[in-house]
Amino acid sequence: MHPQTDVGVLGATGVVGQQFVRRLAAHPWFRLRWLSASERSEGKRYRDVVAWRWPSPIPPGAGHLIIAGPSAAGHAPRVLFSALDAAVAEDVEVAYARAGHVVISNARSHRMAADVPLLVPEINPSHTALLDAQRRARAWPGAIVTNPNCSTAILDLALAPLRVFGLEQVMVTTMQALSGAGVPGVPSLEILGNVIPFIAGEEAKVEMETRKILGSLEGPRVVDHPVVVSAQTTRVPVVNGHTAVVSVRLAERPSVAAVREAMTGFVGAGPVAGLPSAPAAPLVCFDEDNRPQPALDAGLGDGMTVSVGRIRACPVLGMKFVALGDNTVRGAAGVAILNAELLAVEGRLS
Amino acid sequence: MHPQTDVGVLGATGVVGQQFVRRLAAHPWFRLRWLSASERSEGKRYRDVVAWRWPSPIPPGAGHLIIAGPSAAGHAPRVLFSALDAAVAEDVEVAYARAGHVVISNARSHRMAADVPLLVPEINPSHTALLDAQRRARAWPGAIVTNPNCSTAILDLALAPLRVFGLEQVMVTTMQALSGAGVPGVPSLEILGNVIPFIAGEEAKVEMETRKILGSLEGPRVVDHPVVVSAQTTRVPVVNGHTAVVSVRLAERPSVAAVREAMTGFVGAGPVAGLPSAPAAPLVCFDEDNRPQPALDAGLGDGMTVSVGRIRACPVLGMKFVALGDNTVRGAAGVAILNAELLAVEGRLS
Amino acid sequence: MHPQTDVGVLGATGVVGQQFVRRLAAHPWFRLRWLSASERSEGKRYRDVVAWRWPSPIPPGAGHLIIAGPSAAGHAPRVLFSALDAAVAEDVEVAYARAGHVVISNARSHRMAADVPLLVPEINPSHTALLDAQRRARAWPGAIVTNPNCSTAILDLALAPLRVFGLEQVMVTTMQALSGAGVPGVPSLEILGNVIPFIAGEEAKVEMETRKILGSLEGPRVVDHPVVVSAQTTRVPVVNGHTAVVSVRLAERPSVAAVREAMTGFVGAGPVAGLPSAPAAPLVCFDEDNRPQPALDAGLGDGMTVSVGRIRACPVLGMKFVALGDNTVRGAAGVAILNAELLAVEGRLS
Amino acid sequence: MHPQTDVGVLGATGVVGQQFVRRLAAHPWFRLRWLSASERSEGKRYRDVVAWRWPSPIPPGAGHLIIAGPSAAGHAPRVLFSALDAAVAEDVEVAYARAGHVVISNARSHRMAADVPLLVPEINPSHTALLDAQRRARAWPGAIVTNPNCSTAILDLALAPLRVFGLEQVMVTTMQALSGAGVPGVPSLEILGNVIPFIAGEEAKVEMETRKILGSLEGPRVVDHPVVVSAQTTRVPVVNGHTAVVSVRLAERPSVAAVREAMTGFVGAGPVAGLPSAPAAPLVCFDEDNRPQPALDAGLGDGMTVSVGRIRACPVLGMKFVALGDNTVRGAAGVAILNAELLAVEGRLS
C-alpha cells in the first residue's frame, strides 16, 4: 500500500479548483487537507463559499475545511495543486515554492520556463528530470511542475503516438467548451447559439507548448520537437469537452490503419500505466463517422481518455482526424493529479 | 425599368423554399406566381400548409397561392427556382427542363455535370456559357443552372480574390448552423450543447465544387482550378450562419495587408455589381479579433455579404482567416436569385 | 436472495427504451433477455441498430440480443416493459397481455382505463389491487400496469405529501426537456434559444392522471382525488430534466416549515422503501434560492429523486414551490421498473 | 411637424443603453446629443468603448459622441433617458433631477415612490399627473419618470384590457431571456441547457409594480389596483424575449372569445396611439397552439407589440394564456421612449 500524502489546493473555488477537490477527495494516495481561495473567502468553510456546480455533493471532508487566504503559506501541506488564475499564479506559485512547497500547477505562468517541467505523463515522463535543473538554478526548497493548456493537453495526447511516423506539421481548429473559461467566463448573451472565433492567448499556447511537450530531454534540458503547429481556436456553446479538428503531415506517410493502430496501442512511456489516475486507454478510436462528440464522449475513462474519430486521408497534409477530451480533467485537474502521481513514484514529492 | 418575369418555386415549404418565397415576394424583376410542394400539400393554399418560420409574416401574395404537386409542369412559369431535396431533384429538374423551364436549382444533383453551370455571379459569371453546350448536348427547350453547396458558396467567395496570388491549397474546418439541415433536420436532443463532427457528403462537395467554381472557361467547357482543398465539416448549435476556419497556401506569399486589400476590394466580374440582389460589398473584413460571429454578422448585406476576420500568418500554409456567411441566403436562395438576375441581363431567361 | 425473473423490453431503441436497457442490465432481480423494435430492426443485433446516446457503453449482454419484431409474442419472457409509442401501444400491449404477458407500460394508451393501475409506488401502492378487477373484466392470462406521463410522475411525487393538508387546487407550469420528446423529437432549428408554449396532449394528461394517481382505492376501484389541477406545459432547450413551477391551495393552510417537513419526511407507503430502485429519499428540499436546476439536480438519487426548492407563500393559492425530476427515469423507465419491483414483492409477476 | 428635442442617455454602453441609442438615433422628435457611461469610458468616443451587439452598425451620429462621466451634469440636455444600474441610479438620477433634468428612467430605484409616475402609456397615461405632486414635494427643477421592470411591462399590457372584467387574481410564471440580465449577466456555464428558477428581486417587482401600474389616479395620488399577483420568475437559455404563462381570476367570468376580443381591440387610453413609438397594435393574439415563441415573435411591432396565445379556460382561476414581449424594447428602452413621447405631447419635457 502506498503511503498517504497530505495535499492542498490553491484556488479551490473555481471550475478547475472544484474539479481538484472532487478528484482528490477520493484519491487513494493523497489526503485533501487544505484549501485556499481569494481574500473574501478566507476563514470561511469551503461549503459556505463555493458555488458548487456538480451533480454529486461536495465531498464532506472538503466541505468542512476552512479556507486559507491567497498568500497563507504557513500551514499548507508540502504538496499543493494550483488552480490559480494566471494573473496571480506567477508570483504566488514562486512564493510557495520558495517556502518549500511542491506546486503542481495548472496555470500557464511558468509552463515555458526552461527549467520547469511541462508534463503529460503518457507523453514525456522523463521531463521530470528538469526538476534537478530547477533546483540548481532556483535553490528553492520546493518546486514548480506544470501541465499544458487544456486544448494542448488533449491535442498532444493524440499527436504523441504519431511521433514515430515523423511528425512535421499540425493544423488544428478547436471548438472549445464553456467550462474552459470558468465562471463568470463567457457571458451567456454572447455565446448562446453562436461561435466566437477567438480565445485570447490560446493559439500561441497550443503552438508553443506542443513543441516543448513533444520535445526530448537532452542532458539537463528539453529540446523542442521540430513540429510546426498552426492553431485556430474558437469558443462554442458546449458545456464541457474540447473538440479539435486536426490535419497532420507525417514524414513516413503511414496508412489510416497504421495511424489508427498507433493511437489505439498507445499506452505511454514509463510507469504511467500503473498510476491511479491513468485511464485504461489514454486514446480510443471510433469507427462511427459521427464521433467523437463532447456530449457523449468527454467523460470516457473518467475524463482522462481522449477519443479520436474520422481518421482519414487529408488531400493537403496527408492525414486528418477529430480528437476530443475533457478539458477540466484531461486538460486540467486530472492531468495535474496524474503528474503528482508520477512525481510520487519517482520520490520527488517528499 | 426592367421587364417583369413570372417565376415559381419548386419545393416551397422547406427552410430554403421559404427563403425563396420571402425574397422573391419583394423582388423588383420577378413576380412570384407559382409554388409546388409534396403531394400532401397539393391543392391547398400556401399559408395553410407552410410552417412559416420567420418573424415577418408570409407575404400576402404568396400566402394565397395554391400549391401544385411535385410533378405538375403544366401551368408553371418558364423560370423556376428549385429548393427540392436532392432525392427528388435529379429527375424532377430534368423533367421540367425538358418541358421548357429554366430551372435555377439549389439542389446538388446536377452541379458537377460538365454542361451545367455551377454559378456564383461574383466569381464565375462567364460560366453561363455552359448553357450553350447544355442546349447542344441535351436538346432541352429549358435549362438547368445550379449554385453551390451552402458552405462552398461562402468559402469560395472568400477564396475568389486570392486566385490572383496563386491559390494552391486550402484547409477548411466548418462549423455549420442548424438551418442548413432544415426541418426536421438535426434532432435537438443530439445537438444542444454539442458538436457533431460529421455532415454526410458535405466535405466532398466542398472539395470538388470549389475546383469547378474557381475554374476557368476554356472554349465550351470549364477547366477545374488546380487548388487542392481539404475540408472537415461539423454541425454546431447555431441557428443560422456557417463559420469556416481557413488556411491557404498562396504561391506569391502575399502580406496580410495585401490579402485584406484583395478581399475588401473584391467586387466580382461582369455585370454582377449592378444586379438587384448583389450586396454593396460581397466581402467585408473585420479588424476586431472576435469577429465574425454568426449571431452578429450572418445578416450583413441582407445575408449576401460574406464577412472575414482574423486574417493573419499561418505557420503551416502561409495565411489563415475566418469566414462567415448566411447559409440560407448567400449559401442558397440568395445566390440562386442572383444567378437568375445574371441570366436575365444576359437574356437567357426568355 | 430474490429469485431472478427474465424480462424484455418492447420498443427498446428509443430514448426511454434505452433507459430501460441501461437500468435493467444492472438490475439485481431482473435478467434482460429479450428486446423488440420496429420491423426494420427485426433480426438484427441490438448494438447494430440502436443509436445509443449515453456516455456509458451499451451493456454487453444487451448489445448482443437479437431484436424481435413488434408483434412477435412467441418467445418473449412473461414480464415485459413497454416503451412503445402510444400510436402502437394500445393494440400491441393488449395483444401481449392476452398472450399471457405482464406488460409494465410507460405508454399513455391504457393509463386512464378504470381497471388498469396507474402506479407510482411511493404514492399509491394499493392500486395494484386493480389488477384483480382487470383479471375479472378482461380474462387475460397476462396484465397491463402503467406509470404516469413524465411531468405528472414528477409533479405528483411533490404533491403526495401534501394530501395530509387537504390538497384542493394545483396550478403548474412545466418547462420540459428535449429528452421527453425523444428522437427525432423537437427539430433543433425550432427550439434552440427558444421556448415553445405547447406540448400536444400534455396538459390534459397532467390534469387527469393526477386525480387518479392521488385517488384512493375503494373496493375494486379507484376514486379520483378531488384536487383541481390547471397545467400549462412548455418545451425549453434543456437536454434532460423537467422543471415544474407549482402553486397549491391546501385546506389546512400549513406553514412553509410544515410543507418542507412533510416533503422531506416523505418515504411512501407500503414496501416501496426497500425496493432496489427506490431512492434513499423520494423528495429532497433545497434551501438555496437558485435550486433545483435540471443541469445540476436531475440525476439525484440515480434519477429517482425529485428535488424541490423555493417553498414559500403564494399570495393567490397559499403555497408555492419549484419541483424538478429526471423525466426519463423518475418520469419513465425508472418508475416503471419500480412498479415491477412492487409487483414482484406482491407476487404479481408470476 | 414636431419640434426637435435634444436628448441624452445615462449608462449608454449596456444592453439597454445600446437599445436606447439604436432607437433614439432614428427618432423623429428626439436628437441624440449626449451619452454617459462609467468613469473608465469618460472622454472617449462611444464607438471606441461600446461592445456593440447588434447586427446593424452603430449609428454614425452616436458613434462619434464623446462619453461623459457618470456625474457630469454640466452639459447634458434637459431630457435624459436612464439605463443606469439600480446600484447607482438612485442617487445619480436624483442629482440630475435636482440639476434641472427630466430623467426618464428604466431603473427600479424610484418606481415605487408615491410621487413618481410608473408609466406604460397605453395603460395609465393619466399617471403623468403625479409629476405635479412630485414638483410640489421635491421642489426639483427637473423630474423623474419611470417605466416598469421588463417582465412587468409585458405582463401588464396583457392584463390591462382585462380590468373591465374585474381583475382579481393573477398567477404568472415567467421564462426570462438572457438579454434581461445584460453583460456579463448570467454566466454561460450556468445557463446553457438549463433553467435557473430564481431571479433576485424580480418576483416582488412583478407583484408590486403591477398594482401601481393598473391603479387609478385619485386626486394627487395613485391608488393601487386591488389585484393580487403571485409571480414565479425563471431564467431560460433564450437570447431575447420574455415569456409569461398566466392564469387570471376575473370577477365577470368572461368567455375566451370575450377575452380575446378585449385584447385584440385594446389600443390604450389618451393620445398614445398616435405617438411615434406606439405599435400598430399593442397586443396581438395568435390562434396557433404553439405561439407565441420568443424566437419568432419578440420582434413584432418593432419590439413594442406583446403577443398572446393559448387563451383558454383555467380550471383553477378561470382563464389562462401565454404572453410574450421584447424585454429590451417593450420592457425597457422602447417603453421609456414612448413615455417621453407622451410627456412631449403633454408639454412636460420643456
Tens digit of pLDDT for each residue in B274-284?
Answer: 999 999 999 99
Residue A136 pLDDT > 70: yes
Query: Which residues sit opposite C217 in a β-bridge?
Result: C222
CB D188 to CB A179 under 8 A?
no
What local confidence, expressed as pLDDT, does residue D53 receive? 85
For residue A151, the chain B residues in CB contact (below 8 A) are none
Assigned superfamily of B150-326: Dihydrodipicolinate Reductase; domain 2 (3.30.360.10)
Residue of A nearest to D177 (CA): A189
Q: What is the DSSP letter of D279?
A: -
Residue D1 pLDDT > 70: no
The owner of cell 403591477 is D210
What local confidence, expressed as pLDDT, does residue B1 receive? 52
What local confidence, expressed as pLDDT, does residue D268 receive? 86
For residue B238, the chain A residues in CB contact (below 8 A) are 193-195, 237
What stretches of chain B show up as alpha helix (H) in DSSP? 15-25, 46-49, 60-63, 86-98, 130-138, 150-159, 188-191, 202-213, 256-264, 294-297, 334-345
Is C228 within 8 Å of chain D by CB? Answer: yes
What local confidence, expressed as pLDDT, does residue A1 receive? 52
Q: Which amino acid is at C315?
A: P
The owner of cell 411512501 is C268
Residue A73 pLDDT > 80: no
Q: Which whole number is the average pLDDT over C323-330?
A: 98
What local confidence, expressed as pLDDT, does residue C151 receive? 98
Residue C73 pLDDT > 70: no
Q: Which amino acid is at C9?
A: V
Q: Which whole number is the average pLDDT over B162-172?
A: 98
Q: Which three cell numbers stand for residue C174?
A: 412545466
Distance, in Å, from the CA atom of C97 to the CA atom of C108, rounded to the nearest integer, reads 16
D223 membership: H or E segment, kind and range: strand D221-223
Residue C2 pLDDT > 90: no
Share of chain A above pLDDT 90, in %: 91
Select the CATH number that applies to the domain covering D5-149+333-345 from these four: 3.30.450.30, 3.60.21.10, 3.40.50.1370, 3.40.50.720: 3.40.50.720
D150 membership: H or E segment, kind and range: helix D150-159
DSSP C259-303: HHHHHHT---SGGGGGSTT--S-SEEE--STT---HHHHTTGGGG
Q: Distance of CA C40 to CAs C21, C49, C122, D338, Å?
A: 19, 9, 38, 61
Q: Give D 36-75 residues with CB within 8 A of chain B.
A: 53-55
Q: Distance of CA A6 to CAs A32, A50, A75, A79, A278, Å?
A: 6, 22, 12, 7, 20
Phi and psi torsions of D155, nearest 5°: -60, -45
Q: Is C27 a catalytic residue?
A: no
Please check whether the two domains, B5-149+333-345 and B150-326, share a CATH topology.
no
Q: Is C2 a catalytic residue?
A: no
Distance, in Å, from the CA atom of D11 to the CA atom of D18, rounded to the nearest integer, reads 9
Local confidence band at D22 (pLDDT 50, 70, 90 cut-offs): very high
B89-123 pLDDT, tens digit each: 999 999 999 999 999 999 999 999 999 999 999 99
Lowest mean pLDDT among B68-72, C58-62, C234-238, D248-252: B68-72
Local confidence band at B73 (pLDDT 50, 70, 90 cut-offs): low
B vs C, Cβ pairs < 8 A, gives: 66
- Asked whether A45 and A19 are in contact (CB, 8 A), the reply is no
Local confidence band at C4 (pLDDT 50, 70, 90 cut-offs): very high
For residue C295, the chain D residues in CB contact (below 8 A) are 190, 193-194
ipTM (interface pTM) = 0.96
Best of A169, A195, A291 to disrupt the B interface (most B CBs within 10 Å) is A195
As separate numbers, helices (DSSP H) first and strands (DSSP E) second, chain A gives 11, 14
CB A184 to CB D179 under 8 A?
no
What does the mean pLDDT of chain C come to? Answer: 95
Distance, in Å, from the CA atom of D284 to the CA atom of D279, rounded to the nearest integer, reads 11
For residue B158, the chain A residues in CB contact (below 8 A) are none
For residue C184, the chain B residues in CB contact (below 8 A) are 184, 187
Taking the CA of residue A32 and the nearest CA in chain C, the distance in Å comes to 24
- For residues B188 and C56, which has the higher predicted lDDT (pLDDT)? B188
Q: Residue D121's closest CA among D337, D303, D302, D327?
A: D337
Spell out the residues 6+ positions from residue B43 whose beta carbon is closer than 8 angstroms to its own.
B66, B67, B69
Residue of A nearest to D182 (CA): A189
A140-151 pLDDT, tens digit each: 999 999 999 999
CB A297 to CB C193 under 8 A?
no
Q: Are strands B30-36 and B67-68 parallel, antiparallel or unpaired?
A: parallel
Spell out the residues 6+ positions from residue D1 whose beta carbon is closer than 8 angstroms to its own.
none
Q: Which whole number is the average pLDDT over A231-260?
A: 98
Facing A297 at nearest CB: one of C55, C193, C296: C55
What does the mean pLDDT of chain D come to? Answer: 95
Local confidence band at A268 (pLDDT 50, 70, 90 cut-offs): confident
For residue C302, how far is the Cα from the chain centroid? 14
What local confidence, expressed as pLDDT, does residue C54 receive? 85
* Inter-axis angle of helices B150-159 and B202-213, nearest 10: 40
Q: Residue D122's closest CA among D304, D319, D333, D348?
A: D304
- For residues A288 and D72, which has the higher predicted lDDT (pLDDT)? A288
What local confidence, expressed as pLDDT, does residue A69 receive? 82
**Domain chopping of chain D, boundaries:** 5-149+333-345, 150-326
Distance, in Å, from the CA atom of A199 to the CA atom of D51, rounded to the nearest integer, reads 16
